[in-house]
Each structure stands twice: as structure tokens, then as C-alpha cells.
């Protein structure tokens, strides 16, 4: 069984090379679904073991012209909503701990206005044996430091070996014949509508705090048994532009349609424990509960803590209409949006 908590915390904590990160992945395959944040801290034990397009999108980038499937997969009802899953094995050990999540139908008008113009085409491939990895498109939000990658893994003889959690998250067990990954702190989900027996479509939510330079983003495919042997696609990211973001609490909170960045020290919050409550409030009175530990709800697709900067970064499972946002509540304190952006 794959110890995802160990793997995700290790991979999202080490400022290391791709080789180091892939070795972490190999070593930590042993509870099925943690919801703690990945952390940018030093994990001494692991380290010791290892050491043994359109102008709107960005200048020079080509706009992705067929975004419907991508937007549906990232922000629509890609999987069913669920009230949460808690499971124990026969010895009373917790093996599954998944807070409730809610997936909503994609608001296509909001998606086309706030996100689609910033999707850029990639179209680059890497080949490993019978497998072909094609990075279709991406999006990067420099203000939040997060983005999306949409890519596929093809094999005419079939793609197998991966596992998928009920919320759609995909990972590659240690005995998988092949694996695919990025060198950024990230989490992969299956595009359930587009995937077939021979073509696996993946949705990756990533955070660039993990890599020293956003221009170094890479997507790789390789041997599941020897994760140092792989082929790689380099993905350039725009240095500016991105979806329109808003700031709250004198800049301590930056929020865009795809994610949120919270500077914890500026809000008087500790950086050595997770944020238990984040709720976005709209002007019409509706809410988006991103995180509520007490209610056992989590609607983030990825969470990352950069302890050096004291920054919490989360990506969303729906598009947030920043033009309709009123405030954000974090740990019981409400932070109003004083000047909502105009449409």
C-alpha cells in the first residue's frame, strides 16, 4: 500500500532534483488518503536515506482553442460529490480518511470569461517505450503561484497500473509498469470523461513554490520500477498575466479564479499547523467552503505550505467568480473585499 502522506509531504518538502524526488516516490510506497498540507520543510530522515497565443494569455503564448474538456475536467462534475469516507482495517487502524467534497456543474459563462482566455497550448510530447506523453495545455497564475496542466498518456496496448481515489485523485503504485509526474509540488486527477483504455487523461494542479524557477517546470514519463529512467517535456510558463486576482487584508490574501494564497504571519496565524477553516462568501449570500476541519469538509484539490515564506497555497475544485466575491473567512475572522474587480 502506498503511504501517500509520507510521499506527498516528502516530495513537496525537498528542494531537490528530479532524481531525488522520484527516489522519494519509490521509497515511500506503503493511510490511503491524507488531507494534510504538503510542506516545504526539511525531512532529515528522507534526505539522509536518499543521500546514501492570445495577448490575453501572455505574450509569446498561443491560446488553447479547445478548452471545453479541460475546463469540465478541472472544474466541473468530473466525479460525484461525497459526504466523506472513513475506513478502518480489521485491526482498527485508520486506512481511509477523506473529508466530504462537493463538485458542481461548470458555469460555462464564468469559465469562458475568467479562465479560458488564459489557457495556453503546449502540444509537446515525450516517448518512453510504447508510451507517449502529450502535454496538451496549461494555465499559470503568477499572483497565487499555482497552475494547471492537462496532459495524456497513450499506449496502443493499453494504459494500466494506476489507481484512482473516489474523489478522482490518481497515483502510480510502486509496482506500476509506468509512471508520470511533474517536478513541481502537485496533485493529479483523472479526467473520467475523456479517459479510455488506451488513453489516460490527467489533470494536474501544481504550485511553483516547490521549484526555484517557474520556467523549470517539467512533466515526465518513465519506468515504474526505475523512476530515474524517464523522458521529459519542458513546459514554459508565463512570467506575468494570468487570471485576474484580487487582494484582501492589505495583500495578505491573494485570490484568483483557480486558487488562493494566504500569508499566515501577516494574519497572525502560525505556520506550523494547518488552517482549519477557509470559507469564500459571495455577494449573493452563497458560500464556497474550501476547508472546514470541524465540519469534515475539504473542497481543495491541492494544498501546499511554504514554511520559508509562511504561505499557504490552495487550488480550487471549481472556478471562483472573483467579480462576485464579497469576503473570505479564515479561522473565524472575516476579511472583506473592499473593491471587487469589474467584469
What is the model's pTM? Answer: 0.84
Contact 266, 168 (CB under 8 A): no
Q: In DSSP terms, which residues pair with 63 in a beta bridge?
A: 120
Q: Is position 4 within any domain? A: no
Quote the pLDDT of residue 93: 94
The b/e string for 288-326 (b: 16+ C-beta within 10 A; e otherwise) is bbbbbeeeebbbbbbbbbbbebbbbbbbbbbbbbbbebb
Q: Grid coordinates standing for 32?
A: 490511503
Give the lowest-confidence range in 7-21, 89-103, 128-142, 157-171.
Answer: 7-21
Please say if the pLDDT value at position 157 is more than 90.
Answer: yes
pLDDT band for position 211 (cuts 50, 70, 90) = confident
Q: Which residues contact 338 (CB under 8 A, 6 or more apart)?
A: 248
Whichever domain contains 320, its CATH number is 2.60.40
Counting the structural domains of the chain, the total is 1
Please say if the pLDDT value at position 329 is more than 90.
Answer: yes
Please say if the pLDDT value at position 138 is more than 70.
Answer: yes
Contact 65, 121 (CB under 8 A): yes
Q: Is position 320 within any domain? A: yes
Q: For residue range 248-257, what is the model confidence (pLDDT) as tens digits?
A: 999 999 999 9
Q: Is position 306 within any domain? A: yes
Altogether, the residues listed in the chain come to a count of 343
pLDDT band for position 24 (cuts 50, 70, 90) = very low
Give me the domain span that covers residue 308: 246-336
Q: How far apart are CA 192 and CA 45, in angstroms?
A: 37
Burial class of residue 175, CB neighbours in 10 A (0-12, 13-18, 19+) = exposed
Identify the residue whose cell numbers are 517505450.
129
Q: Is position 193 within any domain? A: no
Q: Across residues 144-157, what is the average pLDDT?
A: 97
Selection from 279, 175, 259 nearest residue 223 by Cα: 175
Quote the pLDDT of residue 236: 92
Selection from 314, 209, 299, 206 nearest residue 260 by Cα: 314
- List the Cα angle 214/169/95 in 5-degree steps: 125
Contact 194, 94 (CB under 8 A): no
Q: For residue range 257-272, what is the model confidence (pLDDT) as tens digits?
A: 999 999 999 999 999 8
Q: Is position 219 within any domain? A: no
Q: Is position 331 within any domain? A: yes
- Three-class secondary structure assignment of the chain: CCCHHHHHHHHCCCCCCHHHHHHHHHHCCCCCCCCCCEECCCCHHHHHHHHCCCCCCCCCCCECCCCHHHHHHHHCCCCCCECCEEEECCCCCEEEEECEECCCCCCHHHHHHHCHHHCEEEEEEEEECCEEEEEEEEEEECCCCEEEEEEEEECCCCCCCCEECCCCEEECCCCCCEEEEECCEEEEEECCCCCCCCEEEEEEEEEHHHCCCHHHCEEEEEECCCCCCEEEEECCCCCCCCCCCEEEHHHCEEECCCEEEEEHHHHCCCCCCCCCEEEEEECCCCEEEEEECCCCEECEEEEEEECCCCEEEEEECCCCCHHHEEEEEECCEEEECCCCCCC
Selection from 146, 130, 118, 63 nearest residue 316 by Cα: 146
Amino acid at each position: 500500500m502506498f503511504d501517500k502522506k509520507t510521499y506527498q509531504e516528502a516530495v513537496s518538502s525537498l528542494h531537490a532534483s528530479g532524481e531525488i524526488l522520484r527516489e522519494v516516490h519509490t521509497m515511500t510506497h506503503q493511510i490511503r488518503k491524507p488531507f494534510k498540507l504538503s510542506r516545504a520543510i526539511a525531512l532529515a530522515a528522507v534526505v539522509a536515506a536518499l543521500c546514501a497565443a492570445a495577448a490575453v494569455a501572455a505574450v509569446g503564448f498561443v491560446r488553447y482553442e479547445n478548452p471545453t474538456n479541460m475546463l469540465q475536467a478541472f472544474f466541473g462534475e468530473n466525479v460525484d460529490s461525497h459526504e466523506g469516507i472513513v475506513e478502518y482495517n480489521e485491526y482498527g487502524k485508520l486506512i481511509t480518511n477523506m473529508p466530504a467534497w462537493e463538485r458542481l456543474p461548470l458555469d460555462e459563462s464564468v469559465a469562458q470569461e475568467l479562465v479560458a482566455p488564459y489557457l495556453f497550448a503546449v502540444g509537446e510530447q515525450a516517448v518512453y517505450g510504447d508510451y507517449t506523453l502529450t502535454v496538451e495545455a496549461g494555465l499559470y497564475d503568477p499572483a497565487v503561484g499555482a497552475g494547471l496542466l492537462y496532459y495524456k498518456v497513450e499506449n496502443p496496448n493499453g494504459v494500466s497500473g494506476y489507481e484512482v481515489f473516489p474523489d478522482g485523485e490518481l497515483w502510480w503504485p510502486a509496482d506500476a509498469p509506468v509512471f508520470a509526474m511533474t517536478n513541481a509540488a502537485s496533485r493529479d486527477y483523472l479526467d473520467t470523461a475523456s479517459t479510455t483504455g488506451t488513453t489516460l487523461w490527467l489533470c494536474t494542479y501544481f504550485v511553483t513554490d516547490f521549484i526555484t524557477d517557474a520556467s523549470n517546470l517539467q512533466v515526465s514519463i518513465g519506468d515504474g520500477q526505475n523512476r530515474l529512467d524517464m523522458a521529459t517535456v519542458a513546459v514554459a510558463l508565463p512570467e506575468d498575466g494570468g487570471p485576474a486576482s484580487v487582494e484582501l487584508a492589505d495583500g495578505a490574501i491573494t485570490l484568483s479564479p483557480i486558487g488562493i494564497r494566504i500569508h499566515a504571519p501577516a494574519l497572525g496565524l502560525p505556520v506550523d499547523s494547518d488552517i482549519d477553516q477557509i470559507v469564500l462568501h459571495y455577494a449573493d449570500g452563497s458560500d464556497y467552503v474550501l476547508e472546514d476541519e470541524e465540519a469534515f469538509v475539504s473542497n481543495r484539490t491541492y494544498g501546499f505550505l511554504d514554511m520559508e515564506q509562511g504561505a499557504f497555497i490552495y487550488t480550487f475544485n471549481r472556478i471562483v467568480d472573483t467579480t462576485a466575491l464579497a469576503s473570505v473567512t479564515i479561522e473565524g475572522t472575516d476579511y472583506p473585499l473592499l473593491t471587487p474587480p469589474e467584469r
